[in-house]
Structures are given as structure tokens and as C-alpha cells.
Amino acid sequence: MQTIESSKNADIQITSEDNPINLPDFSTEAYKDAYSRINAIVIEGEQEAHDNYISIASLLPNESDELTKLAKMELKHKKGFTACGRNLGVEADMIFAKKFFSKLHGNFKVALENGNLTTCLLIQAILIEAFAISAYHVYIRVADPFAKKITQGVVKDEYLHLNYGQEWLKANLKTCKDELMQANKANLPLIKKMLDEVADDASALAMDREELMEEFMIAYQDTLLEIGLDNREIARMAMAAIV
Ligand code: PL3
Ligand code: FE2
Ligand code: FE2
């Protein structure tokens, strides 16, 4: 994860502090219209992340305290992003956002009902967290000053969440590898679709689509490497995104 953190921190300073002229105009209708959907996605994503950690705790009762702590952070994130929308005078389009997450949410629900902890962790603590981390890093470089500060605080927590899933999967890799591969095959294509779906609105916020994809793949591959998969296995898993 160092790659992202170190290089992005350098970028943030150049883009938004030394060079504010490159920032978008936050008051245009086009910006606010796109923000109504992106902001809703983030608010819904944080709420679902909360609910998912609480659900995961039911499969890991011994770790309930830790998981409840992570869940609480998600509600704080939701509050922060709600304030970002309010600050720009934007109403979040929550109906759009619920639809945006519905397939992934459905897969999480089925996995939970079947007690498939590995799949639940891959969906929430790896895929969704890596998605959030990569998107928040790109957003921080082009955000309004209020949202930038909030997002910088949030992204630090998201690393803790990603790390939680990473360490569990690492410790249990021998027994969870097959399920991990299967869960990747079923859910990575959904993340790719979600990235495609958000790309136009993101670009209205000056967030580049290719950059979002790259950041996500770097975060995801780094995590899989940490979990203990080898390069061939990771390449095979990444291919699921393009078929
Ligand atoms: C887990 O803690 C949170 C899950 C949230 C998913 C976020 C998806 C990000 C979509 C792209 C928008 C980034 C810009 C943020 C603007 C407020
Ligand atoms: Fe979060
Ligand atoms: Fe999170």
C-alpha cells in the first residue's frame, strides 16, 4: 500500500495547494448534478459497509468488538460525506445509489446466509475498501477544501478496514483459497462495472477514469500479494475483470 500512500500524498500538495487553479468549479450545475450521484454512492457505500461489518461479526463472534469498532467508523464516514454534500448545497440521489450497489449487496447477502465468511470478507473488506481507497485518493486531489479534509481523515480508516480483511485471509489462506478465487470471479466483474458506471460523473468532478482503474488495480493486487498469493494467481484473478 505504500505506493499509493506515498505517491498520492505528494500529488495532493502539488495539485490542490500549490496549484488551486486546476481545481474544478464546485458551483456549476454540472458539478452539482454529478455530485448528487457520487455523494449518494459514497453515503450508501459507507452505510452498507457499516451493516456488512455488523453482519460479518455474526460469523466471527470472537472478533465482534473489533468488527463493531470498524462498523462505527463507517457511520462516522457517512456523516462526514453527508456534510460534504450539504456544504455544496447538493441533495444526494439515494435511489440511484441503492441501485448502484444492489448486485454486490445481493451477493454479500447470499454469502452471509450461507455462512461464506471468505466471500463476505473479500466483498467488503477487500473489494469495497480497495474501491473506496482508490476513489478517495483520486478525489482528494480535486476536492473542495472542506471535502478534502474529511476525505483525508476517512481514507486513513479505510486502510485499517482493508488491513483487517487482508490479515484474516492471510492467516486462513490454506483453507480459504478456493472460495477466495470463486468469490473474486463472481465479484470483481461487478466492481469493474461499478467503476464504468461512475466514470462519467467522476470525470465531471475532474476524476480521471483511467486513474481510478489503475489505482484500484494497484490497491487490489498489493492486497492479494500481502495475503500470500503468487504473481500467477494474482494475474489470473485480475483477468476476471476483463472477461
Ligand atoms: C467503505 O468504507 C466505503 C465504501 C464506499 C464506496 C465508495 C465508492 C466510491 C465511488 C467514487 C467516488 C469518490 C469520490 C468521493 C466524493 C464524495
Ligand atoms: Fe468507510
Ligand atoms: Fe471502510
| Cα-based torsion angle of the residue sequence 223, 229, 232, 233 in order, rounded to the nearest 10 degrees | -90
Ligand 2 centroid from CA 171, angstroms: 24
pTM, rounded to two decimals: 0.92
Q: How many helices (H) and strands (E) does the chain have?
A: 10, 0
Say whether pLDDT at 145 is over 50.
yes
Pocket lining: 52 vs ligand 1, CB cutoff 6 Å:
no
Say whether pLDDT at 8 is over 50.
no
**Quick check: 207 and 138 in contact, CB under 8 A?**
yes
Share of the chain above pLDDT 70, in %: 91
Q: Higher pLDDT residue, 18 or 70?
A: 70
> What pLDDT shows up at residue 17?
52
Ligand 3 centroid from CA 192, angstroms: 19
The per-residue pLDDT of the chain, averaged, comes to 93
